Structure 1
Amino acid sequence: MGDWESPFKKYPVRNILSYNYLGYENKKKSGYNYKILSCSYYYGGSSRVGKYEIYEFNSDSWRVLDAISDDWLYLWPDVAMSLKGDTYWLDSETNENPSILRFDFITEKFERLPLPSNSDEHNRLVILSTVRDEKLALLCQYSDSTGSLKMKIWLTNSKTDEAKDLSWSEFLVCKVVIYDMTRMKSFLVDEENKKVLCCYKDHEYRTRIYIVGEDTYKNVYREVLQEQRSRVAPRLFSYVPTLVQIPTSQSNPCCKRKR
Structure 2
Amino acid sequence: MASSKRSWSLSLLPPEIIQEIFYKTPAEALVRSKPTCKKWYDLITEKRFIYQHLRRSQERFIRIFETVQTMDPNEFQPPYEIDTMVHCDGLMLCKFVDLMTLSCANLALWNPITRRIRWIKPVKIITSGDYYGIGYNSRCKKEARDDDGYKIVKFHCGGLSTSEYGPFGYSKVPQVEIYEFNTSLWRTIGGQKVDSSVKFTCKCVAVMGNMYWVALSDETPGEEFILGFDFSDETFKEICFCPPTYDDFSHLASFNGDSLSLLQQDRVSRNIEVWVSSKLGDGDVSFSKYLSLSGPDLPALQVHNDATRPVYCFVKTKSVILWCVGVEGEGDKVCCFSTLHEIDEDGVRNEKVIERGYVDDYSSSFLCGYVYVPSLVPLP
Q: TM-score, normalised by structure 2?
A: 0.51
Q: Is the 8 A contact 1:96 1:123 kept in 2?
A: no
**Distance 1:77-1:66 versus aligned 2 partners, 3 A rule:** farther
Assess if the C-alpha contact under 8 Å between 2:298 and 2:347 holds in 1. Answer: no
| Structure 1 residues 76-155: aligned runs within 5 Å | 76=200, 79-91=203-215, 96-117=222-243, 120-142=244-266, 148-155=269-276
Q: What per-residue deviation string (whole Å, max 9, x for no partner) do you get for residues 208-238 of structure 1?
A: 2211112231222242233567235322314
Aligned to 2:314: 189
- Residues 77 and 110 of structure 1: CA distance in aligned 2, closer, same or farther (over 3 Å): farther
From 22, 27, 30, give the equivalent of 2:134.
22
Could you tell me how far apart the structure 2 residues matched to 1:136 and 1:174 are?
A: 19
Does structure 1 retain, via aligned residues, the 8 Å contact 2:271–2:298? no
**CA deviation digits over 1:98-149, x for unaligned, max 9?**
11111111121112233453xx444442111112422211112248xxx844
In the alignment, the residues of structure 2 paired with residue 182 and residue 225 of structure 1 have an alpha-carbon distance, to the nearest angstrom, of: 17
Matched with 1:157 is 278
Task: Give the CA deviation at 1:68.
Answer: 2.1
Query: Residue deviations 1:175-225, cap 9 Å, x none?
Result: 152452244432112343x21111222234332221111223122224223
1:166 is aligned to: 285
State which of 274, 277, 300 in structure 2 corresponds to 1:180: 300
Q: 1:191 to 1:102 in 2, by over 3 A?
A: farther
| Cα distance change of structure 1 residues 19 and 97 upon mapping to structure 2, 3 Å threshold | closer
- When structure 1 is superposed on structure 2, of 73-82 and 214-223 the one drifting more is 73-82
Q: Which has the larger radius of gyration?
A: 2
1:219 aligns with 2:351: yes
> In structure 1, the residue corresponding to 2:239 is in which secondary structure?
strand
Give the match's secondary structure for 1:180.
coil
The 8 Å contact of residues 224 and 242 in structure 2, kept in 1 or not, is answered as: no
Q: Give how far 1:82 is off.
A: 1.1
* Identity value in percent: 21
Q: Comparing both structures, which one devotes a greater share of its residues to helix?
A: 2
Cα distance change, pair 116–19 in 1 and its aligned pair in 2 (3 A): closer
Residue pair 1:126, 1:141 contacting (<8 A) in 2 also: yes
Change (3 A) 1:5 1:207: closer
- 8 Å CA contact 1:211–1:220 kept in 2: the answer is no
User: How far apart are 1:164 and its partner, in Å?
Assistant: 3.8
Alpha-carbon offset, residue 78 of structure 1:
7.2
RMSD after superposition: 3.5
* Higher strand fraction (1 or 2): 1
What is the match of residue 145 of structure 2?
A: 31
Does the CA contact (< 8 Å) of 1:127 and 1:139 recur in 2?
A: yes
**Residue matched to 2:368:** 234
Q: How many residues align?
A: 228
Shift of 1:174: 0.8
CA distance in 2 between counterparts of 1:107 and 1:168 reads 25
Distance 1:116 1:186 in 2: 19
Structure 2 residue runs without a partner (length 5+): 1-121, 304-308, 329-335
Instruction: Pick closer, same or farther for the CA change 1:125–1:19 going to 2, 3 Å.
Output: closer
Q: Structure 1 residue 18: deviation in Å?
A: 4.0
- The normalised TM-score by structure 1 is 0.71
Cα pair distance change 1:208/1:164, threshold 3 Å = same
